[in-house]
Amino acid sequence: MSAVTSVAVVGRDAAAWLAAAALKRAFGASGLEVQVIELPSLLQSPDVYATVPSIRGLHRLLGLDEDIVIKACDAVPMVGQRFSNWSEAAQPLMHAFENEPPAGADVSFIQYWLKGRAEGLKVDLSHFSVGASAALQNRVPLAGEDPDPSLSAGFGFHLDARAYANLLMQFALHNGVTGRTAISVEAEVEGERIRAVILDDGARVEADLFIDATGSDALLLSRLPGAAIESWRQWFPANRMLAASGPPLSDLPAFSQISAVREGWVGLFPLRSRTAITAVYDSTLISDDEFADKLPIVARMPVGGDAIVSDLSPGMQGHAWIGNCVAIGDAAVTAEPLDAVQIHLAHAFVSHLISLFPADAEAMPEATAFNRTVRRVAENVRDFQLAHYKLNRRFDDRFWNRARDAATPQSLDRKLQLFGLRGIVPLNDDESFFEWNWAELFVGHGLIPTDYDPRIESVADEEHVMKVQARMRAVAETVRSMPSVGEVLSSVVGANA
Amino acid sequence: MKSALNVVILGGGTAGWMAAAGLSTLLPRSRCTVRLIESDEIGIVGVGEATLPHMKNFNDVVGIDEAEMMRRTQATFKLGIEFRDWGFLGSSYVHPFGMHGPPAGGLAFHHRWLRAHQNGAAAPIEEYSYSVMAARQNRFDFPSANKSAISSTYSYAYHFDASLYAAFLRSFAEARGVIRTEGKVKDVELDGEAGNVLSLTLESGEVITGDFFIDCSGFRSIILGEELGADWEDWAQWLPCDRAFAVPSERTGELTPYTRSTAREAGWQWRIPLQHRTGNGYVFSSQFIAEDEAASALLANLDAPALAEPRMLKFRAGRRVQSWRRNCVALGLASGFLEPLESTSIYLIQIAIMHLLPLLPSAGRSDPALAAEFNRKMDLEYERIRDFLILHYKLGSRDDAEIWKYCRDMPVPDSLMEKLELFRHSGDIEQYRDGLFTLPSWLSVYIGQGLQPERYHPLADGEPVDRLVSELENLRTDIADRIDEMPKHAAFIERYANANEPTEMVLHEAEARL
């Protein structure tokens, strides 16, 4: 019986350095040694990370100064994502990253809106959402002093992926993580454990715990008995991803722009010096060259440099922790580049690893609880992404018809059904998105409940009207006092933001 | 214009009247009307004289005045449950409605305590729990509204006379439009096609129709069990007790703000302090003791003279797998039974009502997804409580009686075994969103019944040990000092909710007559 004293993170890019920095931060004071064996980066110059607001919590926890992140990573604050053309007729949907409402509140405000709507209220749900309203006006919900939790929203960032990975590396090294590079590694496996990794230069590195942040090939974890990828391909219609860059937008929006096209979707992620473009599509419907050719048209901007195409195969490891090896990042779960969750998933996995950190170097029964928890995390996020596809209303495209007709996991069916019936969102354990996020997504994609929670009927009509009006006013006022994206950036990087 | 849903509740015990009170106050009459059928000839089981803190939420939500309710039901306050001789002879621990010390840096308190303990520098964990220390000294006060104060780190429940509570709720619900019909059900009529319940026929011949039925008929489960044939999932293999004798006794000694559960040779004995009497009972397994021996054992172990003959109940641990089928939902004993070891009976009724309300069908329109969601939520509630109850039986080293040897060796659900092993290994306790019994509950039973983790969370090593020890000591003495200032439970009750004092309502009536 002995404590874990050494961790070797084998991998690359943001996931590896994030894991190393977070573990060092948490356990450095207890004497934990964290070493990164860095493999060549898989990032390409056009790559971008869009991040949900939890990234700010991560930076606070790490002690990483947000201004430095903004300066170093070409960052632009993002309050939400706007989905256009996912429906033939409807307006674009602004999905913002609302905070979880305070516990113990009475019937959800969604119910007030639903009953109001049934009785003739014509105001869009987004007017009652602090985040969506802020995003639509390109404002950033910087919290003032003592913010009212019912009138606050979060924001994340668009980050240049290479710059962010590089910043995390410098930060981790500065805080006591040690690092060395390798071209390739080979795991030395004994039973269910990794004894050591052998680097291409012949060096042999031992550790009590190994973190596999090598990317979707999971170079370490895949060598252990019982490792298996569970594919989500049957639910997601796209099999290719493309990354490119366009010129910067002159008036920086506070959101990513996700536009559906015939064979997939195209996302614009504004950075300060360029606009990152990410698209996904089905290569059985359109060739890579054809898609690249039409990219400037659908992105409505010139595309500079190369368009980098890669395979897209969403799925997760059935067991992200086996023996003494824990997969983090794409090695554990590959999600679609929707809803700004890539860094969030790596962060969530690392957080759960910290809270279930092995108490003993020899036996690690924490793995069972960890695996169950991160499965829920990943599947809840997957369901959120799938809901976009499932609810699309483009009826003339094979890609979208197939997406709409595909069977969905039972966990998503339940949410769709109950929301359709009552506007209720049955949340699971370990959700990344809360009631309002799901409601905004469902309503925005056209799923309007046929009825509401009967308890809302016990609210007197005058009280109901007052509450709806008060909320609308309060949201408008709150958002008016927020700084714009440009103002936030120029306060950090100067007037030429 | 929608028409109102016509709801018929069968049975008027705690479950029936709680449902009636909940529906009639939280939904307008334009959405649902409530009729309740009960017979004065059928006694109520009156389970759950001891409650959980959620009870207060229910009362608050439906608008029941706490002091009024307490006066009318001879109620006292409850800060937790003391367990004696559970796990090993001579044990005594309190499962509190509050936490043991504050979390720090994202780490639950008990890991820091474990580290200090393994360094030989910690007091028993209960000395870091505000509510346990208050309970041990028979003190009570409301939790502080200041969330950063240590005196805010607990909540409380009640002990009350369940028959009086049902009667209190009856007057409350009737005042809000619930129609009560006296009578016994003779027949349940189903719709031939869908199998929905159409009506109940009373012995008087009266036929009562409804859109939606709530079966609160107790163990018989007249609609859900007998008529709709819901399957029974049996848990007796893990929870072997199948009988209970209950007997009231005279009040004696200081008024404790907690329930006591004492493990006995074939089960366990409860002691519930009310204002006017003490409720007692022996929950036992007929496999391990004869009924008359159990009754004698109970009487021999009272702390004051009995006020009546012991009354016996028979039951079986388990539940009906779908408590909502077609247009009928069962609440309380009609849906399942778990022994009152952790005072969960009323909680299960309450949570079922709260899960039902948002999902209640509209008149003329229902959807199987509503029932499926209700049943899913109740599955979670039941299973989590079940595992927590089994833990009490499983965890221990008693070998002085057959039942304890049996329980120690019995296989338990994997979900529970995994929790036990994880705690044994590293002191980790998993948390969940829905469901009863959070970290402090599991912790108090684990530690109280003798399971000391072999390690603690590595984050706890992040501070110098002498600083840790002095912080714990400050916390311990701070709690002890504050507890000394708290009023005694008996004095608090006397001032706040004395059952012998005329209530506001009685005073108003008296004034009106003058």
A449 in the same domain as A326: no
* ipTM over cut 0.90: yes
Whether A408 maps to a domain, the answer reads: yes
A185 in the same domain as A68: yes
Contacts of A427 in chain B (CB under 8 A): 433
**Which of A472-486, B386-400, B499-513 is predicted with the least confidence, judged by mean pLDDT?**
B499-513
Point out the residues of B that are catalytic: 78
CATH H superfamily, domain B5-49+161-235+317-365: FAD/NAD(P)-binding domain (3.50.50.60)
Mean predicted lDDT score pLDDT of chain B = 93
CA–CA dist A417, A419 (Å, integer):
5
Contact B387, B415 (CB under 8 A): yes
Closest Cα in chain B to A23: B459
Interface size, chain A vs chain B, as Cβ–Cβ contacts under 8 Å: 110
Mean predicted lDDT score pLDDT of chain A = 95
A32 in the same domain as A165: yes
Query: Per residue in B340-366, pLDDT tens?
Result: 999 999 999 999 999 999 999 998 888
Report the pLDDT averaged over residues A176-182: 98
Query: Per residue in A213-243, pLDDT tens?
Result: 999 999 999 999 999 999 999 999 999 999 9
Quote the pLDDT of residue A416: 98
**Angle in degrees, CA A391, A395, A396, rounded to 5:** 145
Query: Per residue in A44-95, pLDDT tens?
Result: 999 999 999 999 999 999 999 999 999 999 999 999 999 999 998 788 999 9
Query: Per residue in A112-160, pLDDT tens?
Result: 999 999 999 999 999 999 999 999 999 999 877 677 888 889 999 999 9
User: Position of tokens 């002691």?
Assistant: B271
CA distance A358 to chain B (A): 8
A213 in the same domain as A188: yes
A151: Cα separation from own chain's centroid: 23
- Report residue A89 as tokens: 């007729």
Indicate which of B6, B29, B34, B428 best probes the interface with A, i.e. most A CBs within 10 Å of its own CB.
Answer: B428
A256 in the same domain as A200: no
Quote the pLDDT of residue B366: 83
CA distance B433 to chain A (A): 5
A219 in the same domain as A328: yes
A414 in the same domain as A385: yes
Higher pLDDT residue, A497 or B118?
Answer: B118
Quote the pLDDT of residue B47: 53
CA atoms within 13 A on the CB side of B386: 25
- Residue A493's alpha-carbon distances to A53, A268, A489, A490, in angstroms, are 21, 22, 6, 5
Contact A280, A238 (CB under 8 A): yes
Quote the pLDDT of residue A497: 46
Quote the pLDDT of residue A174: 98
A190 in the same domain as A128: no
Confidence of residue A6 (pLDDT cuts 50, 70, 90): very high
- Put simply, whether B291 touches A (Cβ < 8 Å) is no
Contact A373, A431 (CB under 8 A): no
Interface residues on A facing B, Cβ-Cβ cutoff 8 A: 1, 3-4, 26-27, 29-32, 354-360, 363, 365-366, 368-369, 373, 414, 417-418, 421-422, 424, 426-430, 451, 453-455, 457-458
Domain boundary pick from A340, A364, A379: A379
pLDDT at B418 over 50: yes
User: Position of tokens 């298996």?
Assistant: A228
Quote the pLDDT of residue B363: 87
Higher pLDDT residue, A376 or B365?
Answer: A376
Quote the pLDDT of residue B365: 81
Whether A413 maps to a domain, the answer reads: yes
Q: In which region does residue B455 sit, left (phi positive, over 0), alpha (psi from -120 to 50) or beta (all else)?
A: beta
Contact A256, A355 (CB under 8 A): no
Query: Per residue in A242-301, pLDDT tens?
Result: 999 999 999 999 999 999 999 999 999 999 999 999 999 999 999 999 999 999 999 999
CATH code, domain with A251: 3.30.9.100
Q: How many CB atoms lie under 10 A from the CB of residue B35?
A: 18
Quote the pLDDT of residue A134: 95
Quote the pLDDT of residue B148: 87
Classify A440 as helix, strand or coil: helix
A284 in the same domain as A385: no
Confidence of residue B334 (pLDDT cuts 50, 70, 90): very high
Q: In what order do the strands lie in the sheet with B267-273?
A: B92-96, B80-84, B259-264, B267-273, B278-284, B243-249, B311-314
Report the pLDDT averaged over residues B6-31: 96
Is A457 in contact with B27 (Cβ distance < 8 A)?
Answer: yes
DSSP code of B104? Answer: B
pLDDT at B287 over 90: yes
A466 in the same domain as A407: yes
Residues with Cβ within 8 Å of B402's Cβ and at least 6 positions away in sequence, in order, are B266, B288
Is B421 in contact with A365 (Cβ distance < 8 A)?
Answer: yes
Closest Cα in chain B to A29: B462
Report the pLDDT averaged over residues B201-229: 96
Query: Per residue in A323-373, pLDDT tens?
Result: 999 999 999 999 999 999 999 999 999 999 999 999 999 999 999 999 999
Residues with Cβ within 8 Å of A32's Cβ and at least 6 positions away in sequence, in order, are A4, A5, A6, A7, A23, A24, B458
Quote the pLDDT of residue A106: 73
pTM for the model? 0.95
Confidence of residue B45 (pLDDT cuts 50, 70, 90): low
Q: Which residues pair with A326 in a beta bridge?
A: A211, A321
A416 in the same domain as A365: no
**Which of A95-99, B88-92, B285-289, B476-480 is predicted with the least confidence, judged by mean pLDDT?**
A95-99
CA–CA dist B423, B391 (Å, integer):
12
Query: Per residue in A161-176, pLDDT tens?
Result: 999 999 999 999 999 9
In chain A, % of residues over pLDDT 90: 93
Whether A497 maps to a domain, the answer reads: no
Whether A490 maps to a domain, the answer reads: no
Give the start-to-end residue ranges of the domains of chain B: 5-49+161-235+317-365, 80-155+383-485, 243-314
Expressed as residue numbers, the domain containing A443 is 101-158+381-480
- Put simply, whether B433 touches A (Cβ < 8 Å) is yes
CA–CA dist B320, B333 (Å, integer):
10
Report the pLDDT averaged over residues B460-475: 95
**Number of structural domains, chain A?**
3
Tell me the backbone φ, ψ of residue B195, rounded to 5 degrees: 80, 15
A35 in the same domain as A108: no
Query: Per residue in B237-271, pLDDT tens?
Result: 999 999 999 999 999 999 999 999 999 999 999 99
Whether A196 maps to a domain, the answer reads: yes
Quote the pLDDT of residue B167: 93
Whether A122 maps to a domain, the answer reads: yes
Whether A168 maps to a domain, the answer reads: yes
Report the pLDDT averaged over residues A457-476: 93
Quote the pLDDT of residue B479: 96
Report the pLDDT averaged over residues B468-496: 96
Query: Per residue in A436-447, pLDDT tens?
Result: 999 999 999 999
DSSP code of B306? Answer: B
Q: What is the CA radius of gyration of chain B?
A: 24
Query: Per residue in B54-113, pLDDT tens?
Result: 999 999 999 999 999 999 999 999 999 999 999 999 999 999 999 999 888 889 999 999
Quote the pLDDT of residue A101: 62
Query: Per residue in B300-328, pLDDT tens?
Result: 999 999 999 999 999 999 999 999 999 99
CA–CA dist B465, B452 (Å, integer):
20
Quote the pLDDT of residue A344: 97
- Burial (Cβ within 10 Å: 0-12, 13-18, ≥19) of residue B485: exposed
Quote the pLDDT of residue B2: 66
Contacts of A6 in chain B (CB under 8 A): none
Nearest beta carbon to residue A359 from set B30, B425, B433: B425
Whether A94 maps to a domain, the answer reads: no
3-state secondary structure B209-272: ECCEEEECCHHHCHHHHHHCCCCEEECCCCCCCCEEEEEEECCCCCCCCCEEEEEECCEEEEEE
Is B428 in contact with A31 (Cβ distance < 8 A)?
Answer: no
